[in-house]
Amino acid sequence: MNFALPDDIKALQESARKFAREVMRPKAAHYDEKSEFPKDIIRQAAELGLMNMTLPAAHGGNELPHLAQAVIAEELAWGCAGMATSMIANDLALLPIVLGATAEQKDKFLKPFTESFKLASFCLTEPGAGSDVAGMRTTARREGDFYVVNGQKQWITNGEYADQYTLFCTTDSTRKHKGIMCLVIEGRPKGLTVGKHENKMGQRASNTVTLTFEDVKVPVANRIGNEGEGFLLAMATLDNSRPLTAMFSVGIARAAMEHAIDYAKQRQQFGKPIAEFQAIQFMIADMAADIEASRLLTYKSAWLLDDGQRNTLVSSYAKRFAADMAMKATTDAVQIYGGYGYSREYPVEKLMRDAKLIQIYEGTSQVQRLVIARELLKG
């Protein structure tokens, strides 16, 4: 066993850290306040190789090990979790293609992302189907060489700016998960309407919209896998992406802890820095230990993938543990700042708002517990 990161991953960590410190951090408050989309910063991340990390080398991609992706994800979220979510949304949207497409489809739908800056969206959630993915109602009716898609997708990251959509829909909603399939939609075809950008609590730099599909024609050739295979493809995608969202929690919590330590050393009450009070020290000590535990658990979930093993159980441990940890660490950071923590003039309330989303998207903390229990109880 070796806990040291390999040199090539350390170099990637340093480059992501520098980008987060010099480019993302200075603009984080602005994009949070305005809830604008930082397209130029996201473009720079893509140019540095900090996006599209999963794309196979055989199709022009970087094909970074999952461990390297996780290390980068921590740094990006330390810079700004909203921006990081929009950056990693590309990997989430392209993963079903990486995992399930033919070589020809990979060339068509992945290669353009390695050649120029493009954005993609992963379209699974619907207004009436969030945790209950198999309850989706967006339908695809086959007509010759095309599917005709009707329905609505909700909370779609980067949906307003995407050049390509990975859509999960059903050929027969009565068949639940067995009716689901995956289609790639190129550009903005007739019948696809983008709704208004959501005015969110946190991660406000990320773009989040509703998409409406009215008789959208999609070539059958754009189907990834077979009809009925979409549910398993979506679940395999989430197994791959959970280490990244878990590491977002680590990045957010680390930022909160660093701010809390700096503040506790300089804030004086009762004639001494509040860092000298044991109550404050204990909050910081718990943050540090929980951050390290989350990081190690998440590294393991990424390592399992790199080792060719199924990581469903451990990646759910990691996402659940790390998301709940970040919520606690950021809440405690606000507590250490006292009244100033509650003000938008100081950085920690943003981290608390940003952390909340990790307990919700890509499977809520409750759903992670369901996955863990199902894995442990089956058989």
Ligand X SMILES: Cc1cc2nc3c(=O)[nH]c(=O)nc-3n(C[C@H](O)[C@H](O)[C@H](O)COP(=O)(O)OP(=O)(O)OC[C@H]3O[C@@H](n4cnc5c(N)ncnc54)[C@H](O)[C@@H]3O)c2cc1C
**Which residues are catalytically annotated?**
362
Q: Identify which range of 225-233, 278-286, 313-321, 364-372 contacts ligand X by CB under 6 A.
A: 364-372
| Binding residue for ligand X, selected from 73, 123, 183, 184, defined by CB under 6 A | 123
| Binding residue for ligand X, selected from 79, 96, 100, 130, defined by CB under 6 A | 130
Q: Which residues contact 192 (CB under 8 A, 6 or more apart)?
A: 165, 185, 211, 212, 213, 214, 216
Q: Identify which range of 8-16, 176-184, 341-349, 354-362 contacts ligand X by CB under 6 A.
A: 354-362
Q: Which two tokens stand for residue 188?
A: 């903005």
Does the protein bind ligand X through residue 232 (CB under 6 A)? no
Cα diameter, the chain: 79
Does the protein bind ligand X through residue 281 (CB under 6 A)? no
Q: How far is the CB of 346 from ligand X (least distance, A)?
A: 23
Q: How far is the CB of 31 from ligand X (least distance, A)?
A: 14
| Binding residue for ligand X, selected from 143, 366, 373, 374, defined by CB under 6 A | 366
Q: Which two tokens stand for residue 306?
A: 């790199």
Does the protein bind ligand X through residue 357 (CB under 6 A)? yes
User: Quick one: DSSP state of residue 198?
Assistant: P
C-alpha 2 chain-centroid distance: 27
| Binding residue for ligand X, selected from 75, 239, 354, 362, defined by CB under 6 A | 362
Does the protein bind ligand X through residue 239 (CB under 6 A)? no
C-alpha 186 chain-centroid distance: 22
Tell which residue, 330, 92, 349, has the closest CA to residue 206: 92
Q: Identify which range of 95-103, 105-113, 338-346, 363-371 contacts ligand X by CB under 6 A.
A: 363-371
Tell which residue, 38, 93, 80, has the closest CA to residue 203: 80
| Binding residue for ligand X, selected from 28, 41, 67, 367, defined by CB under 6 A | 367
Cα separation, 248 vs 373, whole angstroms: 24
Cα separation, 63 vs 79, whole angstroms: 23
Q: Which residues contact 144 (CB under 8 A, 6 or more apart)?
A: none
Q: Which two tokens stand for residue 323?
A: 């998301």
Does the protein bind ligand X through residue 252 (CB under 6 A)? no
Cα separation, 335 vs 338, whole angstroms: 5
Q: Identify which range of 12-20, 141-149, 185-193, 360-368 contacts ligand X by CB under 6 A.
A: 360-368
Does the protein bind ligand X through residue 156 (CB under 6 A)? yes
Catalog residues that contact ligand X under the rule CB under 6 A. Answer: 89, 122-125, 130-131, 155-157, 200, 203, 208, 357, 360-364, 366-367, 370
